[in-house]
Amino acid sequence: MGNLNLSVLIPIIVYFSLMYIIGIYAAKILSKVAKSKGDGSQYMEEYMTGGRDTGGFVLAMTLVATYLSAGSFIGGPGTAYTIGLAWVFLAMSQMPTGYYTVSVLGKKFAIISRKVNCNTITDFLRARYRSNAVVILASLSIIFFITAAMAAQWIGAARLLQGSTGLDYKVALFFFGITVVVHTAIGGYRGVVLNDTLQGIVMTISTVALFAMVLVKGGGITNIIQNMKAIDPGMISPMGVDPGFTSKAWVTSYWVLVGFAVIGLPSVAQRAMSYKDTKSLSSGIKYGTVVSIVLLLGMHLVGAFGSTLVSGIESGDLVVPTLAVSLFPDVLAGIMLAGPLAAVMSTVDSQLLVVVGAIVNDLYVNYIKPQVAEDAKRVSKLTIGTTIVMGIVTFLLAIDPPELMVWLNLFATAGQISTFLWPTILGLYWKKANKEGAIASMIVGMVSYVIFNYNYPRPLGMHAIVASLILSLIAFVVVSKFTKEPSKDIIETFWGI
Amino acid sequence: MSVKEVDNIKMDSTEGFMEDPRYKQCNKEARYGVILGLLNLVWWYVFGYGLGDKPVEGYTYILGFPSWFFFSCVLGAIVFIGLTFFMVDKLFKHMPLDKFTEEEAKEYLKSIEGKEA
């Protein structure tokens, strides 16, 4: 590991420094709020939602950057490298995500979150169902699943840094981790979304540049496609190189996991309650759709096309870094690699904030010391302290991942979705949704997903999430029908003026 | 919306309170989102598998891409970006997001009534 590649490392250091500057800027606004308003709840609102002041472009960028993670920037293109256009096709099933998520949660979600003053998705569930069991299930789901998912993403980012710059793994991990923790801890939501915006821009530039380079080096689309066909005709068929693996039912059902059900991810829902006004929402949807489609199509095509340029890359995770380093001169390669790093960082900073929200806002202030909420200074110490502690926990998990973490990460996305999707949507649109139904759906969704995965990984040929979402929907509706309707007071708060 | 309908909203609510007048539009917009998402899925599936699920030797090509991929993923992306812009600009309506007082709610109802008349 002795040979550091400085010309790749330096652009990345410059890029990381920018994150700190943005963090400090956001921290200044935060400290103004902490000083001017003595009330801790005001501080919490500013920390978790940026004072509900997010404009259109920033909203779009933070949404896209949050839900496009290492999966879409490293793993996905890596798989497209071996499977070909079928995997690009699969990735493109999430085309609707940019407009779908925010339209469905919609203005109603924004209006209600202002009415009941919620800062996190769990706040929303607490106000809607008034049940400790719901709040605790939701918070624990966030803490365990998201922490595991974060650690896994940190590992990916550190490997990427290690592979391209020659840094030692632990040094790379530390370097990455401290950047995330510092800008999140001091900047809160505002720091995170501003950073996401920068990262979204970096991701876009690096995608477009990589794609253009691959096109030029490959001799144009026609040439590349014919070369892919020569490697294996399956590379240019939607059935893939192994039709048993990329079967129609399975590929199509991916739409549920990465498109439809993204509404259930707390870090995404968080964004849907924090935009400033309906103008921001409109432009957020428009920009968000364009940017997410360009990034998804571009990056996955880079992976698929890359198979004709550099052959024999063993691990899927190394495809994008290897292409960047072999196609670009070093300094530019560093800038290109900032793209995938940005994809990871913008996902984990939002996740970190959601975990901190669950611990401080949803559990500590609610159940342990409610009086803390009065005092902005103490809330601020508590949130910053928790962010740092969670950063250290994630760092330790990423150095030596325990089995439990690996297991949790496997179920992280589906786990969050089965906990939050139906309680959020039905809570928003169905008056009869009650707490018993919500609890039933959370438990059925989670348990059935785990059981399917171990015993019957593709029920009806589809991804297991589909069957477990159907079961948890049935559980929700049936249990709600047979138990007491929500109180009049709840209905009036949510549906009245 | 006529004055009579405005009254109806109040009378209709069997729970004995006035429903937030913005929700009608909110629900509509959510429905548009779902419909567009489903259309998108159908487009993606029909062109992708409709043109692609056959021997590779018989493929036709557009701009170098196999036609299934071009229609499903490239043209599909352009069409649905266009439809998203249409949906947001023409079908979505701007509204305040803060909690209404009763007066504000009535004023809001009047304002949409004015626009639709």
A125-175 pLDDT, tens digit each: 999 999 999 999 999 988 988 888 888 888 888 888 887 788 888 999 998
Q: Does B46 reach chain A within 8 Å, measured CB to CB?
A: no
Same domain? For B50 and B84 the reply is yes
Shared-domain flag, residues B89 and B39: yes
Number of structural domains found in chain A: 1
Q: Chain B: residue nearest A279 by CA?
A: B94
The neighbouring-strand residues paired with A453 are none
Q: What is the pLDDT of residue B14?
A: 57
Chain A residue with minimal CA distance to B43? Answer: A93
Contact A437, A426 (CB under 8 A): yes
Average pLDDT on A189-203 reads: 86
**Together in a domain, B73 and B116:** no
Question: Which backbone phi and psi does A462 adopt, to 5 degrees?
Answer: -105, 170
CB within 8 Å of chain B, chain A residues 249-268:
252, 255, 259-260
- Owning domain of residue B112: 1-22+100-117
Contact A234/B at CB under 8 A? yes
Please give the backbone phi and psi of residue A3, each rounded to the nearest 5 degrees, phi first. Answer: -95, 95
B90 touches chain A (CB under 8 A): no
Beta partners for B19? A496
Is A122 within a domain? yes
Whether residue B77 is predicted with pLDDT greater than 90 in this model: the reply is yes
Alpha-carbon gap, residue B25 to A463, rounded angstroms: 34
pLDDT tens, residue by residue, A241-295:
888 888 888 888 888 888 888 888 888 888 888 888 999 999 999 999 999 999 9
Is residue A25 one of the residues assigned to a domain? yes
* B4 and B57, same domain (yes or no): no
Q: What tokens does A455 get?
A: 């015993």
Kindly state whether residues B65 and B87 are assigned to the same domain.
yes
Residues B61 and B38 in one domain: yes
Residue-wise pLDDT for A231-240, tens only, equals 999 999 999 9
Q: pLDDT-derived band of residue B86, with 50, 70 and 90 as boundaries? A: very high
Query: 3-class DSSP state for residue A45?
Result: helix
Are residues B45 and B6 part of one domain? no
Residues B79 and B49 in one domain: yes
**Exposed / middle / buried, residue A168 (Cβ in 10 Å: 0-12, 13-18, 19+):** middle
Q: Is the Cβ pair A238, B52 closer than 8 Å? A: yes
Whether residue B16 is found in the same domain as residue B62: no
At A224 the pLDDT is 96
Contacts of A93 in chain B (CB under 8 A): 41, 44
Residue A157 lies in a domain: yes
- Asked, for residue A239, whether it belongs to a domain, the answer is yes
Chain B touched by A278 (CB under 8 Å): yes
Substitution target in A108, A254, A279, A425 with the highest count of B β-carbons within 10 Å is A108
Separation of alpha carbons A395 and A182, rounded Å: 13
Same domain, B89 and B67: yes
Interface with A, mutate which of B39, B44, B73, B83 (most A CBs under 10 A): B73
Whether the CA torsion A47, A51, A54, A55 is positive or negative: it is negative
The structural domain count of chain B equals 2
Those residues with Cβ within 8 angstroms of residue A154's Cβ, 6 or more apart along the chain or in another chain = A173, A176, A177, A180, A344, A348, A394, A395, A398
B27 touches chain A (CB under 8 A): yes
Angle at Cα A404 formed by Cα A402 and Cα A409, nearest 5°? 100
pLDDT over 70, % of chain A: 98
Is residue B6's pLDDT more than 70?
Answer: no
Please enumerate in sequence order all residues whose Cβ is within 8 A of that of B97, keeping only pairs 6 or more positions apart, or say none. Answer: A107, A110, A111, A114, A277, A278
CATH no. for residue A259? Answer: 1.20.1730.10
Q: Once rounded to an integer, what is the mean pLDDT over residues A338-351? A: 85
Q: Residue A345 sits in which domain range? A: 6-401
**One domain for residues B87 and B108:** no
A491 in a structural domain: no
Residues B67 and B117 in one domain: no
Contacts of A229 in chain B (CB under 8 A): 56
Is residue B27, in this structure, part of any structural domain at all? no
Give the dihedral sign, CA A236/A237/A238/A243. Answer: negative
SS3 of A236, please? helix
List pLDDT tens digits, range A75-115.
Answer: 889 899 999 999 999 999 988 988 988 899 889 999 999 99
Residue B78 lies in a domain: yes
> Is A434 a member of any domain?
no
The answer to whether residue A329 neighbours chain B at the CB level (below 8 Å) is: no
CB proximity A247 to B under 8 Å: no
Is B84's Cβ below 8 Å from some Cβ in A?
yes
Residues in A touching B92 (Cβ below 8 Å): 278, 281-282
Q: Say if A366 falls within a structural domain.
A: yes
Assign B15 a pLDDT band (cuts: 50, 70, 90). Answer: low
- Domain membership of residue B83 (yes or no) is yes
Q: Are A65 and A346 in contact (CB under 8 A)?
A: yes
